[in-house]
A = this chain, B = another copy of it.
Amino acid sequence: MTILTGAPTAHESAGCEPDYVQLLTPEGQRVEHDDYHFDGDDDLVRTFYRDMVLARRVDTEATALQRHGELGIWAQLLGQEAAQIGAGHGSRPQDFIFPTYREHGVALVRGLDPGRLLGLFRGVDHGGWDPAEHNFGLYTVVIGAQTLHATGYAMGLTADGLVGSGDVTRDACTIAHFGDGASSQGDVLESFVFAATYDAPVVFFCQNNQWAISAPIERQSRTPLHWRAPAFGFPGVRVDGNDVLATYAVTRAATDRARAGEGPTFIEAYTYRMGAHTTTDDPTRYRSGADVDAWRRKDPIARVLAYLRSRDAVDDAFVAALEAEADDLGAHLRRQCREMPDPSPLAMFDHVYAEASPEVEAQREGYAAYLAQFDLTGAEGER
């Protein structure tokens, strides 16, 4: 049978690097690619470097805050900085981002104060920011659900005539973030159908970090994930997810394409979850340290620094200043976290509906009266 085209490439089976877009090697060497080019200057690369360092610091601090009991749980991004910072910079401010629960780096690039991310993990809210403020949606915990929202929002952009005018400050698109595990969900696969049918300006950005909790990528797919896109009628591309120049270039190309009215693109950012799934997970139960070590040698931050150093684009002063900035951010985060007020009990009854329901209001009143019995003045005063 000649029909079978689904087998892994010999390349992959041989355990080699997968065939992906790479513009910066793990050693920090620039390489060229036929289709994708990095057109930024050293300033931009320095910005990437800075954002990656800060994103990692956010992650480290939040992890520590969880260990100290200040957060209930934390989902680490360790190792995925290049994928996220490249994706973040690859979009434009008018593009709307639909994150999953791990896109702390993208949030940072979008200008969201990282402290705002902590509320969800501390248990004081379900997402403490206004999505409209930075065109950055709430974190989504139900795996894959947001990919359909991103597609629908993109359909709305088309309906609004915000696609294909050629004005890069006006035309817009959406980016749907999700993981390799999510690629198995019906919702994600249906979002490919809708995106293709409506030619929606949406970029599917999949961080294939090789694991969905304890399930390795082989449990979800026998083929590279990006193969799915052309099957549904739009381009798919695999990029070295630990190479920020490449993730940036590929995202920029895909969003440009979407904004131009040429439809969706699927990006598979091939990377690795260096940490645990979350702070409650114990990866030693299901994966080998050797793998982790191998990926550590492909660290996304180290290679940018090596590149910048090789060009004398950073010096020790820059690195030290950045370190100080990161320290400040860490201190800010710790303070913000500890100072975050617990929600008022009666806030629990807020916003169930946009137009208040008499039933919820009655329950609010009943509970307020109940609390008043105990003389919990806090309960009354906080609303």
Stretch from A10-18, A60-68, A74-82, A184-192 forming part of the interface with B: A184-192
- Set B197, B221, B230: member contacting A233, Cβ < 8 A: B221
Complex contacts, A187 vs chain B, CB 8 Å = 186
Stretch from A1-9, A121-129, A331-339, A361-369 forming part of the interface with B: A1-9
The count of residues in chain A whose C-beta lies closer than 8 Å to any C-beta of chain B is 37
Complex contacts, A6 vs chain B, CB 8 Å = 196, 229-235
Query: Counting CB contacts under 8 A, is A119 at the interface?
Result: no
Which residues of A are at the interface with B, using a C-beta cutoff of 8 A? Answer: 1-7, 34-35, 184-187, 189-190, 193, 196-197, 218-223, 227-237, 253, 257
Total identical chains:
2
In the complex the two chains form, what is the Cα distance from A228 to B222 in whole Å?
Answer: 13
A252 to chain B, nearest CB (A): 13
- Set B35, B185, B221: member contacting A1, Cβ < 8 A: B35
Q: A4-B235, A185-B190, A197-B221 are in contact. List 5 more A-B contacts (CB 8 A).
A: A3-B236, A186-B186, A193-B220, A223-B230, A223-B233
Nearest opposing residue in chain B for A253, CB measure: B1
Complex contacts, A236 vs chain B, CB 8 Å = 3
Could you write out 16 A-B pairs with CB less than 8 Å apart? A1-B235, A2-B35, A3-B236, A5-B230, A184-B190, A185-B186, A185-B190, A186-B186, A186-B189, A189-B190, A196-B221, A221-B232, A223-B231, A223-B232, A227-B230, A228-B232
Complex contacts, A190 vs chain B, CB 8 Å = 184-186, 189
Complex contacts, A221 vs chain B, CB 8 Å = 193, 196-197, 232-233
In the complex the two chains form, what is the Cα distance from A3 to B235 in whole Å?
Answer: 6
Complex contacts, A34 vs chain B, CB 8 Å = 2
Complex contacts, A233 vs chain B, CB 8 Å = 6-7, 221-223
